[in-house]
Amino acid sequence: MPSPKEIALLPDAGPLITLAYADALDVLFKPGWTVMLVDMILHEVTRSPTPTSRKLGEWAAVRKIPVLPTKTFAHFQQASVGEGTPRRNNLGELAVQESMNDFALMVPPKVGVFLFEDHKIARASFLVPDTCQKISTRAFLTFLEQKGWIASASEIERRAVQAGRAFSNLRFPP
């Protein structure tokens, strides 16, 4: 069984945005896992001015969150300076899958937890290696509450919604 620090938590854009709306980004550290950001995800949540983009960029910088480089983001950057419009759909998820596959190829394999909020990621077609797991934001918050690491999952959800976040109803795993 790996120690908590040996487990990497990779949040997708949706959970980062939800937690930023709720002013609760630091709950990501509650399990003691190493929080990491995939380069494409960080780009997605900071590239355009939004109610949370600045907060997320500053949080990642202040907390010195490690950023995992991916071929997906490198390709996106190259395509952005070329002619035409680069593909934008699902690049964050592709970059996370790339990072998780890299984890599986390490010796010993690294354990990863992918935190998501998008219904399409719950489908079986979004595969993660055996050493990795995927969990929805709501299930993660419930896990933290059950462990006694936060007072109330529903309070964080309520704060996000009150601040203007359209929070997913997805619960995965059930």
d(CA 94, CA 87): 12
Q: Is residue 168 part of a domain?
A: no
9 pLDDT more than 70? yes
d(CA 131, CA 146): 23
pLDDT in tens, 72-123: 999 888 887 766 666 667 888 889 989 999 999 999 889 999 998 866 555 5
As a whole number of Å, the end-to-end CA separation of the chain is: 23
Q: Which residues pair with 135 in a beta bridge?
A: 115
* Percent above pLDDT 90 for the chain: 60
pTM of the predicted model over 0.75: yes
CATH number where 71 lies? 3.40.50
The pLDDT of residue 121 is 56
Q: Is residue 141 part of a domain?
A: yes
What's the Cα-to-Cα distance from 35 to each of 12, 16, 69, 108, 120, rounded to whole Å? 12, 12, 15, 19, 23
Across all residues in the chain, what is the average pLDDT? 88
Q: What are the two backbone dihedrals, phi and then psi, of residue 89, each rounded to the nearest 5 degrees?
A: -70, 130
pLDDT in tens, 37-83: 999 999 999 999 999 999 999 999 999 999 999 999 998 888 877 66
d(CA 98, CA 112): 12
Q: Is residue 174 part of a domain?
A: no
Query: What is the DSSP pairing of strand 132-136 with strand 111-116?
Result: parallel
For 71, other C-beta atoms within 10 Å of its C-beta total: 12
Q: Is residue 9 part of a domain?
A: yes
Q: Which residues pair with 113 in a beta bridge?
A: 9, 133
Domain count, the chain: 1
d(CA 166, CA 170): 12
The pLDDT of residue 117 is 83
Q: Is residue 127 part of a domain?
A: yes
Range of the domain at 150: 4-162
Q: Is residue 172 part of a domain?
A: no
Q: Is residue 19 part of a domain?
A: yes
Q: Is residue 21 part of a domain?
A: yes
